[in-house]
Structure 1
Amino acid sequence: MNRQSFSIAVVTTVLLVAIAAPHPIADAQEWDVTPVQPSFTQGEAQSGIIKLYQWKGNNPRTANIGTIKSADGAEWTVPAKTHFQSATKAADLYNEANGVEPAGIADIDLDAIPVIDAGGNEIFTAYLFGDNYFEFSVNGELLAVDAVPMTPFNSSVIRFKAQRPFTVAIMGVDWEERLGLGFEKFKGAPFHQGDAGLVAVVKNAAGETVSVTDANWKAQTFYIAPLKTKECLEVNGDIRDSSKCSTEDTADGTAFFAAHWPIPEDWASADFDDSDWPNAVTYTNDFVGVDNKPAYTNFTDLFDDPQSDAKFIWSSSLVHDNLVLMRTTVGKQQK
């Protein structure tokens, strides 16, 4: 994020105003200046509950959002403020909910997928598998969002026109069922700590890979839960480290905490300064656990191409970090 030098008096005044005044949802999650320390909430969100999506097939899940207030008066949407209800849904690569279940990439008719204009004349195709949800932007323009917020596990394809270099920005959300706590239900356990991960490949019109998710991406977390104690979370500048926080499930997590940071309004734009953000952390397929998910395994020749193997990426914690912003810039075409 770009930083400007302020006098101590101005900084103090701004902070006092920000702390004293309650903020609506948009303000709390889109301030221009990210505070070093997070806002903490405790317990489960009980207000503003909205059902976004319900899957009644195998492993039925309901994807809700809700709102919760922190001690400083800010109000947060959990697990994330999304554009699921209004944005274009990404086309299905594999989606059991829509009956799209191809055996492999050869069964996908790319010509039938509309091309979204992101400015430019070169056509690109992005393939994504996210656990659980993503929103995909190019140069600050939101092109498409995941068609399924939580389950069933699906994968997506997005075709767009752009001019290199361009910046890809992806918001990733690890969905939760105990809103504001980061817990989900798993095999009857109501307080299970789920994990996350996202993998993506971008190809040009000739089918050449121009970008894959790897450790060169930037990734910053903006919502961390569940936290058994606030003290387990260590914050040092732009490093938000939950490695000392418990990852064990619990019989009752209703008193656990969550940490929130406001999202910079221009975080997806090409000129946003992400130089202070941590690099993305990569995870193996086994660690993420995709061996039983055909939305991924039917396309290993795409995602696990030996010549350009895309890695699962996230921030430093697949378990605690539930809202992660990821960015990279696809460079100029080589001549």
Structure 2
Amino acid sequence: MQGLYSVLLWVIPALTYLLGGVLFIKGLGDLTIGTLVAFVAMQTTLFPQLNTLLRVATQVRASLALFTRVFEYLDLDIPIKEAANARTFPGGRARGHISFEGVTFTYPSARKATIEDVSFEVPCGAHIALVGSTGSGKTTLGYLLSRLYDVSEGRIRIDGIDVRELKLDALAGAVGVVTQETYLLHASIAENLRFVMPEASEADMIAACEIAQIHAHIESLPNGYDTVVGERGYRFSGGEKQRLAIARTILRDPPILVLDEATSALDTVTERAMGGALRSLSEGRTTISIAHRLSTVRDADQILVVKSGRICERGTYDELLAAGGEFSRLATGERRS
């Protein structure tokens, strides 16, 4: 439609001049040169308005298609629902003891289980690392703990309470997740940080950003914490967005941390600095680190090696390296790469 209009925009004035010239030369009608010029001038004024209407019609059609998709999503049934007798943690805050008991999980429409009969415990304040090759099911375990999905079999408990029996707000307040892919709003840095804690003071935000090694960079920006990050944070690098996500989680101060490749977009120097910061942050809270880079989990109290949805090895970094099993194979491959 837009292409057709562009053609007509140039053809119609030419045809008008041609027809008007023929009529004027042959003396047909009362047509004068002034009338012909005025008519063409009127066309020049009218056509842009018609073009605007055509653009509006195109935008309306595109919007209708978009709204159709939006309403389809809004009409979807919510798979994760709060139990009728859902409860909160005693005292209002979780202590952080986690237990996976015979957990099996299959994604909807999948033929094979992603997680099969996984059992382990994470004591309060302990640091557990989940490692394994791509597609082994590490991230899925994090999804199940934060109840983005419900287990197919078995149960996951926090402080002895099945996560399916907890109020969704209580579970969200207990588990802080920093994923490999960050989600930032088209708003200022301060608004993105306060999204998880609206009552946070400026001092709280600065303290969280200092731990996340991002405060100095924010201070160097012309508008500081009032800087707009852009849609999905496009004005910041991958490492900067990841550090902002970490700062946002720190600000919320959850008793349980799930770090899913939380430092994957950081350079080596910043990652080392972040490693010390995260170790300090992990003190006194339960931490589950999901990592491909095995060097980032050296300090974990215990490492669980996941292969094909099952835990095939457990132990400390040095113990697993000496065992010569799956972990040793992954470590050797990492050093070669």
Taking structure 2 as the reference length, the TM-score comes to: 0.26
Higher strand share: 1
| Bigger Rg over Cα | 2
Larger relative contact order, structure 1 or 2 (CA cutoff 8 Å, min sep 6)? 1
Normalised by the length of structure 1, the TM-score is 0.27
